[in-house]
């Protein structure tokens, strides 16, 4: 038995990274419990496991005291001195109490402990692997669902896609492949629990990093994302090199790059706008596809008043205010949109910032290739 156990511990140490000393300590602790349970003993004991000769010896441990209150845990100093005159009050006396048939129980207990530790080690390795992948995209296969979650196989572990992380209206068919974003990895008694999302803005960020080499290489930076999953998103980008067209890099030739992401998200509309440190320019860009005539900034309240042509008021606001709401999330500024007629009546248009916007529009090319028609916004006006 000792040879088999020694070989098993050596293999576990090499393959699973479980220290032999840790396993031996766990086995000895389990043997103490097995001894007390199988032999109806309440005394304090210690088990010595010797891997070299295969011996498993049980020692009872009693405190040497002046007056005995519990003979299962204590021994008088007089009785202790009869065993060995060197014992004094405060010492611990150990005596072998190994049962005759303890070997069989010990072997079974050792096997159970090793099996449990292997399972715990494997769970630990899986946890470490996936906790390092938090905030990343993974591919999985949809397995099943209940009233709360959709369960997705990620190979070594099953991930949960909660209802609030599912895109409304998206169909999740069993055995179909799906890309999800890992939001959280937790330790549980049943192993690591991985929580994933289809609605998190991080999913959109990772998809762009995968599809746009300039983003992955750091040439183009994603500055902010505003997303209403399954419907529409806005993303602001910035190129550190003035010669690089950040928006064009994300759109791709004939819109190929952004269209791949749109397809992955089942038709979710995506506005790609250029980031600017100037809130006037940034807010104007964020309200794309609407044309903006003027942006007036209130720094103290971090709010803006935006003037748009009369005929584009509904486009700037969007259905149920979605375009304006996403632009506000994207920029971090409050946005109050007014038509040109109302702004002139209030005497707030034109202003200095309106000339800045006009100059910006004159300098910029179209966001999209001229040869491609984009109908993503044809239904935004009511």
CATH of the domain at 294: 3.30.300.20
Binned at pLDDT 50, 70 and 90, residue 377 comes out as very low
| 354 and 298 belong to one structural domain | yes
Give one DSSP letter per residue of 151-218, joined into a string: EEE-SSSEEEEEGGGSPTT----TT-EEEEEEEEEEEETTEEEEEEESS-HHHHHHHHHHH-HHHHTT
Per the domain annotation, does 381 fall within a domain? no
At residue 34, the pLDDT reads 78
pLDDT tier at 297, thresholds 50, 70, 90 = very high
Handedness of CA 312, 315, 319, 325 (dihedral sign): negative
Q: Is residue 369 part of a domain?
A: no
Q: Which domain CATH number covers 96?
A: 3.30.1480.10
Domain boundary among 275, 306, 328: 275
88 in helix, strand or coil?
A: coil
Domain boundary among 230, 249, 275: 275
324 part of a folded domain: yes
Examine residue 367 and state whether it is found in any structural domain, yes or no.
no
Q: Does 124 lie in the same domain as 6? A: yes
Query: What SS3 class is residue 181?
Result: strand
Average pLDDT over residues 304-312: 94
Residue 325 lies in a domain: yes
pLDDT category at 73 given cuts 50, 70, 90 is confident
Q: Determine the pLDDT at residue 216.
A: 93
Q: Is the pTM of the predicted complex or chain greater than 0.75?
A: no
Would you mind telling me the total number of residues written for the chain in this entry?
Answer: 382
Q: Does residue 168 share a domain with residue 45?
A: no
105 and 150 share a domain? no
Kindly state whether residues 291 and 337 are assigned to the same domain: yes
How many domains does the chain divide into? 4
Which of 156, 173, 197 terminates a domain? The answer is: 197
CATH number of the domain within which 150 lies: 2.40.50.140
**Do 87 and 73 lie in a common domain?**
yes
Same domain, yes or no: 234 and 352: no
pLDDT, tens digit, 9 for 90 and up, residues 12-34 = 777 766 677 777 777 778 778 87
Verify that 143 and 101 share a domain, yes or no. no
Give a yes or no: residue 88 inside a domain: yes
Residues 140 and 67 in one domain: no
Give the residue numbers spanning the domain of 245: 210-275
Q: Which residue intervals of 178-238 are DSSP H helices?
A: 201-211, 213-216
Six-digit token string for 340: 């040109």
Residue 154 carries which DSSP code? -
Cβ–Cβ < 8 Å for 287, 308? yes
Spatial neighbors of 285 by CB under 8 A, at least 6 apart, are 236, 273, 274, 275, 276
pLDDT at 135: 94
Residue 42 lies in a domain: yes
In terms of domains, do 253 and 318 share one?
no
Tell me whether residue 373 is in a domain: no
Taking only the tens place, the pLDDT of each residue in 123-143 is 887 888 888 999 999 999 999
| % of the chain beyond a pLDDT of 90 | 51
- At 379 the pLDDT is 44
- Same structural domain for residues 83 and 65? yes
266 with 350, same domain: the answer is: no
Confidence at 358, pLDDT banded by 50, 70, 90: low
């Amino acid at each position: 038995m000792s040879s088999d156990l020694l070989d098993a511990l050596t293999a576990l140490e090499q393959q699973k990274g479980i220290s032999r000393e840790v396993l031996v300590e766990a086995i000895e602790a389990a043997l103490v419990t097995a001894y007390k349970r199988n032999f109806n003993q309440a005394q304090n004991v210690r088990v010595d496991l010797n891997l070299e000769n295969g011996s498993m010896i049980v020692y009872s441990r009693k405190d040497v005291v002046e007056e005995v209150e519990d003979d299962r845990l204590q021994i008088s100093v007089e009785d202790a001195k009869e065993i060995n005159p060197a014992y004094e009050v405060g010492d611990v006396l150990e005596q072998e109490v190994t049962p005759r048939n303890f070997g069989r129980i010990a072997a079974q207990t050792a096997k159970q402990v090793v099996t449990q530790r292997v399972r715990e080690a494997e769970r630990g390795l899986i946890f470490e692997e996936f906790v390092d992948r938090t905030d990343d995209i993974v591919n999985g296969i949809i397995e099943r669902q209940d009233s709360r979650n959709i369960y997705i196989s990620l190979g070594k572990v099953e991930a949960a896609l909660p209802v609030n992380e599912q895109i409304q209206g998206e169909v999740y068919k069993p055995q179909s492949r799906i890309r999800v974003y890992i939001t959280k990895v937790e330790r549980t008694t049943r192993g690591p629990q991985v929580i994933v999302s289809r609605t998190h803005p991080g999913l959109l960020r990772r998809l762009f990093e995968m599809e746009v080499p300039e983003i992955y290489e750091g040439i183009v930076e994603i500055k902010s994302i505003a997303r209403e999953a399954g419907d529409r998103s806005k993303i602001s980008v910035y190129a550190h090199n003035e010669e690089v067209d950040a928006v064009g890099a994300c759109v791709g030739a004939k819109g190929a790059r952004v269209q791949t992401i749109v397809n992955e998200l089942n038709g979710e509309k995506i506005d790609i706008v250029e980031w600017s440190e100037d809130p006037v320019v940034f807010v104007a860009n964020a309200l794309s596809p609407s044309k903006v005539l003027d942006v007036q900034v209130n720094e103290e309240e971090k709010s803006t008043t935006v003037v748009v042509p009369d005929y584009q008021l509904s486009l700037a606001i969007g259905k149920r205010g979605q375009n304006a709401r996403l632009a506000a999330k994207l920029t971090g500024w409050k946005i109050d949109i007014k038509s040109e007629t109302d702004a002139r009546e209030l005497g707030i248009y034109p202003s200095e910032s309106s000339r800045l916007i006009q100059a910006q529009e004159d300098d910029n090319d179209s966001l999209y290739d001229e040869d491609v028609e984009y109908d993503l916004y044809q239904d935004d006006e009511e």
